[in-house]
Homo-oligomer: A and B are copies of this chain.
Amino acid sequence: MGANSNRVEDFSRHNGSTTTTTTTLKVSTEIPMPPPEAMEIHNVCLPPQKTTFQKLKHRLSEIFFPDDPLYRFKKQTWCKKLVLGLQFLFPIFQWGPEYNLSLFRSDIISGLTIASLAIPQGISYAKLANLPPIVGLYSSFVPPLIYSVLGSSRHLAVGPVSIASLVMGTMLSESVSPVEEPILHLKLAFTATFFAGLFQASLGLLRLGFVIDFLSKATLIGFMAGAAVIVSLQQLKGLLGIVHFTGKMQLIPVMTSVFDHRKEWSWQTIVLGSIFLLFLLTTRHISTRKPKLFWVSAAAPLTSVILSTLLVFCIKSKPHGISIIGHLQKGLNPPSLNMLYFNGQYLALAIKTGIITGILSLTEGIAVGRTFASLRNYQVDGNKEMMAIGLMNMAGCCTSCYVTTGSFSRSAVNYNAGAQTAVSNIVLATTVLVTLLFLMPLFYYTPNVILGAIIITAVIGLIDYQAAYKLWKVDKLDFLACVCSFFGVLFISVPLGLAIAVGVSVFKILLHVTRPNTVVLGNIPRTEIYQSLNRYREASRVRSFLILAIESPIYFANSTYLQERILRWVREEEERIKANRESTLKCIIIDMTAVTAIDTSGIDMVRELRKMLEKRSLQLVLVNPVGSVTEKLHHSKILESFGMNAFYLTVGKAVADISASWKPQP
């Protein structure tokens, strides 16, 4: 048929910035294929030529600005640009002008609801972080105000959260005792908050938001469950009334500590704690079953605090052995800029704690924001949210606040209570303000055991065994990452558990690249479709051809493997042919559609493979290499050395063309 000579080989670019492929009419006669008019041959062509600078620019814009954040500014007047810029930086200008009384009514209801939840939770979480309880209230005042101006989520309820509190408490307490050196501990907490904020804001500003994507959902399910178990066990201190408790967080020392101090157990505390824990868990159960009754669980913590405080107040004259919060100072957040700690031996600890709590709280905040945004069909810009949360923490650390973010439980209540805008956060802050100014003495008799019960109720929802079971069913390696982070957190430590889980997740990606799938394709009769022989029963081998699909980029990490694996396919195919006495193997076709990238090792592999196959008189043909791969093959002169009849756009064309070229020499 002499088809190859017919085709113009136009791999060298002509004269412009783009290449056009040459289309030559060809007539097929033999292979089951669509009829002549569909048989034009389209060659593999190079992508439009770009300079290194253009490529770099394109790549960087894809890496850092995938969402094209400035698209709204294009083709606008200066004045409009200014307004858009303000709205971009301060989302409050976006929804502010359209704000009305009906929205305000919704926001005030939801704001008050979350305040009733936020006050007891704030005090509890501060205790979880080994900080004075009042810091929890301070942290529920300033950050919500700042978020309401900067944040783009309408439903996020901002304040301290359990995971970040736990992690900060653990990491700092392991080096500095909060009992012996309370001031230093507090200083380090504020400094860690500063670094958390700085880190979060930088991630947003440098558009490195994808860093938090590396905490996969699977990892987080395990991590949160582990953290919830640890937090709950820690509460045994309060629930049992133990005075001398371990500062460690792992399962074994905590349980040892619980049973070693059996003499300190106080039955009054246990009874009180159990009753209220049961009450809180029941209300939680009701709200989980019937989402409309969300207010039952939202009101329960404050109710418990009030009831238990009254109870303890009534029996205050008798010795009861129930420890109470005690004196809380009235007044607004004191400035704490002077408490930041920028030199000394603990600086590294503060930075490390800041970065880890920063990442964790960011992950929670963004995830919560996205969840509720998708429920109401609006978009939350990840990078902007990071900046908002980061600035909120940086402002917080100067006003006696520790790490805050959007809390899942409170945001859910906020959403269910009908919050419409970030004004609900302003209402929350106002309520906390009133509490700080006037209501502090009321908490004097609040028993610590109640705080423990509130924390347990809040974190128990983090143990999502159903999600873990789903992971097991769908993806075993995801489940492994989940289990690793769970046990890592439980038995080793929070940062190490997290690191192991991230390691497992990254390992999963690398494993997929290191040991990619190779699939033998066959033709589905009477079509031009080539599919996996193993999967599609009707697909059948094409005589004298071995058609392989490589399902991964070809990198240094897999080039040796792929070479060996392909040679093994060839060997096995030859053995099969020999056993079945079919006609000999003549051509190896590699479908490169899924080879989305190649590096220099990969290119060497292709060159080497061709040489090895040539020595066995086997032809090597590549099908449909993607743009960047074709370009690299061109730069490394492989395209030229292979010749044009080694590249085809579809497997079908390759099979047709090559078997036609064999005809003349029978």
Binding site for B on A (CB under 8 A): 18, 20-21, 23, 34-35, 37-38, 40, 42, 45-48, 52, 56, 62-63, 66-68, 210, 213-214, 216-219, 374, 377, 382, 470-471, 473-478, 505-506, 508-517, 519, 524, 526-529, 531-532, 534-538, 551-553, 555-561, 564-565, 568, 593-594, 596-597, 599-601, 603-604, 608, 611-612, 615, 626-628, 632, 635-636, 649-650
- Bound state CA distance, A141 and B650, in angstroms? 56
| Chain B residues within an 8 Å CB radius of A506 | 506, 510
- Report whether A475 and B599 are in contact in the complex, using a CB–CB cutoff of 8 Å: yes
| Chain B residues within an 8 Å CB radius of A516 | 596
Partner of A536, one of B42, B557, B559: B42
Q: Least Cβ distance of A122 to chain B in Å?
A: 30
- Report whether A66 and B515 are in contact in the complex, using a CB–CB cutoff of 8 Å: yes
With known contacts A537-B18, A600-B470, A556–B214 Cβ distance under 8 A: yes
Partner of A38, one of B218, B528, B531: B528
Q: Least Cβ distance of A295 to chain B in Å?
A: 28
With known contacts A210-B561, A531-B649, A537-B20, A509–B471 Cβ distance under 8 A: no
| Chain B residues within an 8 Å CB radius of A612 | 374, 377
- Bound state CA distance, A612 and B376, in angstroms? 10
| Chain B residues within an 8 Å CB radius of A636 | 470, 473-474
With known contacts A35-B35, A594-B593, A612-B377, A526–B40 Cβ distance under 8 A: yes
Q: A34, A48, A508, A596: which has the most chain B beta carbons within 10 Å?
A: A596
Partner of A216, one of B35, B37, B474, B601: B601
With known contacts A34-B38, A63-B515, A601-B218, A23–B538 Cβ distance under 8 A: yes
- Report whether A635 and B515 are in contact in the complex, using a CB–CB cutoff of 8 Å: no
- Report whether A509 and B216 are in contact in the complex, using a CB–CB cutoff of 8 Å: no
- Report whether B377 and A600 are in contact in the complex, using a CB–CB cutoff of 8 Å: no
- Report whether A555 and B509 are in contact in the complex, using a CB–CB cutoff of 8 Å: yes
- Report whether A535 and B382 are in contact in the complex, using a CB–CB cutoff of 8 Å: no
Partner of A474, one of B535, B600, B649: B600
- Report whether A556 and B526 are in contact in the complex, using a CB–CB cutoff of 8 Å: no
With known contacts A21-B538, A42-B524, A636-B474, A600–B218 Cβ distance under 8 A: yes
Partner of A42, one of B35, B529, B555, B603: B529
| Chain B residues within an 8 Å CB radius of A604 | 217
| Chain B residues within an 8 Å CB radius of A42 | 524, 527, 529, 531, 536, 538
- Report whether A210 and B514 are in contact in the complex, using a CB–CB cutoff of 8 Å: yes
| Chain B residues within an 8 Å CB radius of A524 | 42
| Chain B residues within an 8 Å CB radius of A596 | 512, 516-517, 551-552, 594
Q: Least Cβ distance of A616 to chain B in Å?
A: 9
| Chain B residues within an 8 Å CB radius of A514 | 210, 213
| Chain B residues within an 8 Å CB radius of A217 | 556, 600-601, 604
| Chain B residues within an 8 Å CB radius of A529 | 42, 649-650
- Bound state CA distance, A477 and B56, in angstroms? 11
| Chain B residues within an 8 Å CB radius of A52 | 476
Partner of A564, one of B67, B519, B626: B67
- Report whether A632 and B600 are in contact in the complex, using a CB–CB cutoff of 8 Å: no
- Bound state CA distance, A208 and B37, in angstroms? 52
The 8 closest A-B pairs by CB, nearest first: A216-B556, A34-B34, A551-B596, A594-B594, A47-B535, A474-B635, A474-B636, A478-B600
- Report whether B511 and A509 are in contact in the complex, using a CB–CB cutoff of 8 Å: no
- Bound state CA distance, A405 and B636, in angstroms? 31
- The chain B residue sitting closest to A615, CB to CB, is B377
| Chain B residues within an 8 Å CB radius of A34 | 34-35, 38, 528
Partner of A66, one of B68, B538, B565, B599: B565
User: Can you list 24 pairs linking A and B with CB atoms under 8 Å apart?
Assistant: A18-B537, A34-B38, A40-B526, A62-B515, A210-B557, A210-B560, A213-B561, A214-B556, A216-B556, A216-B557, A218-B556, A218-B600, A377-B615, A470-B636, A471-B600, A474-B603, A474-B635, A506-B506, A508-B555, A509-B509, A519-B626, A519-B627, A529-B650, A594-B594
| Chain B residues within an 8 Å CB radius of A213 | 514, 556-561
Q: Least Cβ distance of A45 to chain B in Å?
A: 6
- Report whether A45 and B218 are in contact in the complex, using a CB–CB cutoff of 8 Å: no
- Report whether B21 and A474 are in contact in the complex, using a CB–CB cutoff of 8 Å: no
- Report whether A627 and B216 are in contact in the complex, using a CB–CB cutoff of 8 Å: no
| Chain B residues within an 8 Å CB radius of A627 | 519, 532, 534-535
| Chain B residues within an 8 Å CB radius of A513 | 509
Q: Least Cβ distance of A603 to chain B in Å?
A: 7
Q: A34-B35, A210-B560 are in contact. List 14 more A-B contacts (CB 8 A).
A: A21-B536, A37-B526, A47-B535, A52-B476, A210-B515, A210-B561, A217-B604, A218-B556, A509-B510, A509-B557, A512-B596, A529-B649, A534-B627, A552-B596
| Chain B residues within an 8 Å CB radius of A519 | 626-627
- Bound state CA distance, A48 and B506, in angstroms? 29
- Report whether B534 and A48 are in contact in the complex, using a CB–CB cutoff of 8 Å: yes
| Chain B residues within an 8 Å CB radius of A599 | 216, 218, 475, 477-478, 508
- Bound state CA distance, A306 and B599, in angstroms? 47
Q: Least Cβ distance of A520 to chain B in Å?
A: 12
Q: Least Cβ distance of A666 to chain B in Å?
A: 28
- Bound state CA distance, A208 and B20, in angstroms? 46
- Bound state CA distance, A473 and B52, in angstroms? 10
| Chain B residues within an 8 Å CB radius of A474 | 600, 603, 632, 635-636
Q: Least Cβ distance of A356 to chain B in Å?
A: 19
- Bound state CA distance, A551 and B551, in angstroms? 11
Q: Least Cβ distance of A215 to chain B in Å?
A: 8
| Chain B residues within an 8 Å CB radius of A532 | 47, 626-627
- Bound state CA distance, A627 and B594, in angstroms? 13
